[in-house]
Chains A and B, each alone.
Chain A
Amino acid sequence: MQVTVHQDKCVASGQCVLAAQDVFDQRDEDGVAVLLDERPPTELHDDVRQAAAVCPALAITPAGS
Chain B
Amino acid sequence: MVVGASVAGLTTAVTLRTLGYDGRLTLIGDEPHTPYNRPPLSKQILAGTWEPDRIKLRTDEELSDLDARLLFGRSATGLDTATRRVTLDGGDSVGYDTLVIATGVTPNSLPGAHHLAGVHLLRTLDDALALRADLRHRPDVRVAVVGAGFLGSEAAAAARRMKLDVTMIDPRPVPMRRQFGDRIAALVGRLHKKNGVSMRCGTGVRRFFESGGRVTGLELTDGTLLGADVVVVAIGSVPAIGWLAGSGLELGNGVECDPTCRAAPGVYAAGDVASWHNDHFGCRMRLEHRLNATEQAQAVARNVLGENRPFAPVPYFWTDQYDAHIQAYGIFPADAELAVLHGELEGGHFVVAYGHAGRVVGVLGWNSPCELRRLRQLVVDRAPWASVAPTPPAVWTGRHLSASIR
Interface of A is mostly: loop
Task: Let me know if B275 is at the binding interface, CB within 8 A.
Answer: no
Give residues 1-24 of A contacting B (CB, 8 Å): 9, 11-15, 17-18
Instruction: Determine whether the beta carbon of B370 is less than 8 Å from that of A28.
Output: yes
Q: Given A53-B294, A54-B295, answer yes or no on A13-B316 (Cβ-Cβ < 8 Å).
A: yes
Task: Let me know if A40 is at the binding interface, CB within 8 A.
Answer: no
Q: How far is the CB of A31 from chain B (nearest CB, A)?
A: 3
Q: How far is the CB of A25 from chain B (nearest CB, A)?
A: 9
Instruction: Determine whether the beta carbon of B39 is less than 8 Å from that of A56.
Output: yes
Interface of B is mostly: helix
Q: How far is the CB of B46 from chain A (nearest CB, A)?
A: 16
Of B11, B37, B294, B369, the residue contacting A31 (CB under 8 A) is B369
Q: Given A53-B294, A56-B294, answer yes or no on A12-B57 (Cβ-Cβ < 8 Å).
A: no
Task: Let me know if B85 is at the binding interface, CB within 8 A.
Answer: no
Q: Given A56-B290, A58-B57, answer yes or no on A14-B37 (Cβ-Cβ < 8 Å).
A: no
Place the interface of chain A in its size category.
10 to 19
Task: Let me know if B42 is at the binding interface, CB within 8 A.
Answer: no
Task: Let me know if B396 is at the binding interface, CB within 8 A.
Answer: no
Q: Given A31-B325, A56-B39, A58-B37, answer yes or no on A14-B369 (Cβ-Cβ < 8 Å).
A: yes
Task: Let me know if B327 is at the binding interface, CB within 8 A.
Answer: yes
Q: Given A31-B325, A58-B57, answer yes or no on A14-B373 (Cβ-Cβ < 8 Å).
A: yes
Task: Let me know if B25 is at the binding interface, CB within 8 A.
Answer: no
Task: Let me know if B96 is at the binding interface, CB within 8 A.
Answer: no
Instruction: Determine whether the beta carbon of B318 is less than 8 Å from that of A54.
Output: no
Instruction: Determine whether the beta carbon of B294 is less than 8 Å from that of A54.
Output: yes
Of A18, A31, A53, the residue contacting B370 (CB under 8 A) is A31
Give A31's nearest chain B residue, CB to CB.
Answer: B369
Q: Given A11-B320, A12-B325, A13-B318, answer yes or no on A26-B294 (Cβ-Cβ < 8 Å).
A: no
Q: How far is the CA of A14 from the CA of B317 in the complex (A)?
A: 11
Q: How far is the CB of B82 from chain A (nearest CB, A)?
A: 35
- Could you list 5 further interchain pairs (A-B, Cβ under 8 angstroms) beyond the known A53-B298, A56-B318? A14-B370, A15-B316, A26-B373, A31-B369, A56-B37
Residues of A within 8 A of B (CB): 9, 11-15, 17-18, 26-28, 30-31, 49, 53-54, 56-58
Nearest 4 CB-CB pairs, A to B?
Answer: A31-B369, A14-B373, A12-B369, A56-B290
Residues of B within 8 A of A (CB): 11, 14-15, 18, 37, 39, 54, 57, 290-291, 294-295, 298, 316, 318, 320, 325, 327, 369-370, 372-373, 376
